[in-house]
Amino acid sequence: MQLNAFWRIIKLMKHAINQKPDYEKELRKAGVRITRPRRIILDILTSTEDHPDAMKIFHRAIEIDDSISLSTVYRTMNLLEEMGAIHRHAFNGGPSRFEQAHGEHHDHLIDVDTGDVIEFQSDKIEKLQEEIARALGYDIIHHRLELYGRKSKPSE
Amino acid sequence: MQLNAFWRIIKLMKHAINQKPDYEKELRKAGVRITRPRRIILDILTSTEDHPDAMKIFHRAIEIDDSISLSTVYRTMNLLEEMGAIHRHAFNGGPSRFEQAHGEHHDHLIDVDTGDVIEFQSDKIEKLQEEIARALGYDIIHHRLELYGRKSKPSE
DNA sequence: ATGCAAATGCAAATGATTTGCAAAAAGAAA
DNA sequence: TTTCTTTTTGCAAATCATTTGCATTTGCAT
Ligand SMILES: [Mn+2]
Ligand SMILES: [Mn+2]
Ligand SMILES: [Zn+2]
Ligand SMILES: [Zn+2]
């Protein structure tokens, strides 16, 4: 939980300095063409703190270039996911939501009333997951932990 | 992990004795009509160990009564979920999959190669989740923990 | 048995995402 | 830059899982 705070600060500093991860270089190296739509979408992803879905990304994108199509957003999200540049979430069972893959691994707590997404990280839980998988004879490829909660009343 | 083994045995014993939870009575008490499709679907859910999706349930159902429709399966799953008789999962991002709510709470490990679903339970993790939520000022309403893994090579 | 609200089957509607295809753009080469 | 080849795009139509409108049937309290 202390580490969490640390990384949050790092993230904020990066944001302040505008030092975004250079996905363009990475993608180019992997033989991916950097097109105008892709650059715009990457910019949107690297400059937000939230977890937008395809439609929200689309709306932010057409604000910058109204010729971008929704299918391109979807295609780009699939591409970036395959390249490991973003993570895809399916909270509740709603539409896919995305966030850039940069930064520390974390899990999510979703406020069931407001929809707010709060990030957290627990080394202990990660360790326990590994132990459990190992005991069952498995190596974890990836995992998903989501807590759905409601603000606790201070009293009571 | 020891508790887990205990409950697994209980479950197997119940299954062996064919002592299914009496959902019919519960549902009736809640003012829900017990129709032929609902009885059949409930039977399917209470007599399987796996996590079938709507289509699979539909196919098993028409084997017993070929007049049952897929929409009724969907409607019934929604009803049973609201009544708390079943749980809904969305592994990977695929279609909803269901299991009866009876028995102990557990989480899932999905074999990414075979699709097998392995159930496990960890009091430690559950406790940690509570702690984390509390520290963030939240009460957990529900949660979802899924491990995606691959059988570990014994050597190496 | 009777009556009526609730549930069903079917087909058509939805919402999210994918896909085929002709036109446009990216990057390598000249 | 111009040219060339390959990839990507926008658009519309297709898919997939799931929901919904509606006329018809059914459960079940009287
Ligand atoms: Mn985690
Ligand atoms: Mn759990
Ligand atoms: Zn996040
Ligand atoms: Zn299960």
One-letter-per-residue 3-state SS of A65-114:
CCCCCHHHHHHHHHHHHHCCCEEEECCCCCCCEEEECCCCCCEEEEECCC
Q: What gap in Å lies between CA A131 and CA A127, rounded to an integer?
A: 6
- What is the mean predicted confidence (pLDDT) over B99-103? 91
Domain count, chain B: 2
- Does the pLDDT at position B155 exceed 90? no
Q: Are residues B125 and B83 in the same domain?
A: no
- What is the mean predicted confidence (pLDDT) over B80-106? 94
Instruction: Evaluate if the CB of A78 falls below 7 Å from strand D.
Output: no
- Does the pLDDT at position B89 exceed 50? yes
**What is the least distance, in Å, from the CA of A65 to any CA of chain B?**
30
pTM of the model: 0.84
Q: Which two tokens stand for residue B38?
A: 């609902």
- For ligand 4, the distance from its centroid to the CA atom of residue A121, given in whole angstroms, is 25
Q: Are residues A72 and A26 in the same domain?
A: yes
B144 contacts A137? CB cut-off 8 A: no
Backbone angles phi, psi at B88, to 5 degrees: -110, 135
B118 contacts A136? CB cut-off 8 A: yes
Q: Are residues B92 and B126 in the same domain?
A: no
- For ligand 1, the distance from its centroid to the CA atom of residue A1, given in whole angstroms, is 13
Q: Which residue has the higher pLDDT, A142 or A15?
A: A142
- What is the mean predicted confidence (pLDDT) over A7-26? 63
Interface test with A, best of B125, B126, B131, B155 (most A CBs within 10 A): B125
Q: Are residues A81 and A27 in the same domain?
A: yes
Per-residue confidence band for B78, with pLDDT thresholds at 50, 70 and 90: very high
Per-residue confidence band for A3, with pLDDT thresholds at 50, 70 and 90: very low
Strand D, CB < 7 A, residues 3-42 of B? 28, 33-36
- Does the pLDDT at position A4 exceed 70? no
Amino acid at A12: L
Interface test with A, best of B88, B91, B119, B141 (most A CBs within 10 A): B141
- For residue B145, the chain A residues in CB contact (below 8 A) are 129, 143-146
Per-residue confidence band for A71, with pLDDT thresholds at 50, 70 and 90: very high
Q: Which of B83, B101, B119 is the last residue of a domain?
A: B101
Q: Are residues B44 and B111 in the same domain?
A: no
Per-residue confidence band for A103, with pLDDT thresholds at 50, 70 and 90: confident
- The separation, in Å, between residue B59 CA and nucleotide C5 C1' comes to 30
Nucleotides of C under 7 A from a protein CB: 6-12, 15-20, 25-27
pLDDT of residue A26: 86
Q: Which of B101, B116, B136 is the last residue of a domain?
A: B101
> Looking at the DSSP assignment, which residues form a beta bridge with residue A39?
none
- Does the pLDDT at position A91 exceed 70? yes
pLDDT of residue A130: 97
Percent of residues in chain B assigned helix, strand, coil, to nearest 5:
45, 20, 35
Q: Are residues A28 and A90 in the same domain?
A: yes
pLDDT of residue A153: 81
Per-residue confidence band for A70, with pLDDT thresholds at 50, 70 and 90: very high
- The separation, in Å, between residue A28 CA and nucleotide D8 C1' comes to 14
Q: Are residues A51 and A97 in the same domain?
A: yes
pLDDT of residue B26: 87
Instruction: Evaluate if the CB of B96 falls below 7 Å from strand D.
Output: yes
pLDDT of residue B113: 92
Instruction: Evaluate if the CB of B91 falls below 7 Å from strand D.
Output: no
Q: What is the CATH number of the domain that holds A27?
A: 1.10.10.10
pLDDT of residue B23: 84
Render pLDDT for A114-152 as a digit per residue (tens, 0 to 9).
Answer: 999 999 999 999 999 999 999 999 999 999 999 999 999
Domain that holds residue A150: 1-16+103-156
Percent of chain B, pLDDT > 90?
A: 76
pLDDT of residue B154: 73
Q: Are residues B133 and B97 in the same domain?
A: no
Q: Are residues B116 and B152 in the same domain?
A: yes
Ligand number, closest to the Cα atom of B108? 4
Render pLDDT for A24-53 as a digit per residue (tens, 0 to 9).
Answer: 888 998 889 999 999 999 999 999 999 999
**What is the least distance, in Å, from the CA of B33 to any CA of chain A?**
28
Q: Which of A76, A101, A126 is the last residue of a domain?
A: A101
Q: What is the CATH number of the domain that holds A149?
A: 3.30.1490.190
- What is the mean predicted confidence (pLDDT) over B108-121? 95
**What is the least distance, in Å, from the CA of B113 to any CA of chain A?**
11
- Does the pLDDT at position A16 exceed 70? no
A129 contacts B125? CB cut-off 8 A: yes
B117, containing H or E segment: strand B117-120
Q: Are residues B119 and B92 in the same domain?
A: no
Percent of chain A, pLDDT > 70?
A: 85
- What is the mean predicted confidence (pLDDT) over A3-22? 55
Q: What gap in Å lies between CA A84 and CA B106, rounded to an integer?
A: 30
Nearest to B149 among A140, A146, A149 (CB): A140
Q: Are residues A74 and A147 in the same domain?
A: no
Q: Are residues B60 and B126 in the same domain?
A: no
**What is the least distance, in Å, from the CA of B82 to any CA of chain A?**
15
